Amino acid sequence: MKKGHIILLYFLFVFGCKSRNTVPHSIIPDNKMELIIWDMTRADEFLTAYVINKDSAVDKKAESIRMYEQIFRIHKTSKEEFQNSLSFYQAHPAMLKIMMDSLSAKEKDTSIGQREPKTITDSLLFRKSRIPKLP
């Protein structure tokens, strides 16, 4: 009887100490999930800035669905897989936080690059400084 308890405790210990940060095979890996969410965010920004504000007759929901389906095709996944994976990550807040922090950092990197004005040197001023002044 004691051997049975020891074996049972051993199995409980081995399977109970399984890492909680492992992602099941049916769930989209975090790096791929991050790319999908990034593309979906960019699609929403595009729709808001260039499609919906320019044409009031456009159905926002239909356009969003169309773009999301295109993103799912690009990433070779489905809406159902994405929703199941999103539910998994929402149930594991530590993993979701890492993913969202990474997306936030990526957004800051791209927005800084877009907002920095590029300095252009005036070629006429450069040439004027080389021309000798006449007495």
**For the residues 19-45, what does the mean pLDDT come to?**
89
Question: In angstroms, rounded to a whole number, what is the distance separating the alpha carbons of residues 80 and 36?
Answer: 13
Q: Could you tell me if 26 and 88 are in contact, meaning their C-beta atoms sit under 8 angstroms apart?
A: no
Q: Can you tell me the distance from the alpha carbon of 64 to that of 66, in angstroms, rounded to the nearest whole number?
A: 5
pLDDT at res. 56: 74
> Could you tell me the pLDDT band of residue 50, with boundaries at 50, 70 and 90?
confident
131 confidence band (pLDDT: 50, 70, 90)? low
Query: Is residue 89 pLDDT above 80, yes or no?
Result: yes
Nearest to 50, CA basis, from 63, 37, 38? 63
Residue ranges of domains in the chain: 28-110
Nearest 10 degrees: CA dihedral of 32, 50, 107, 63? -30
Residue 34: both structure tokens together? 């991050």
Which tens digits make up the pLDDT trace of 91-121?
A: 999 999 999 999 988 888 776 555 555 566 6
Of 57-61, 68-72, 88-92, give the lowest mean pLDDT range.
57-61
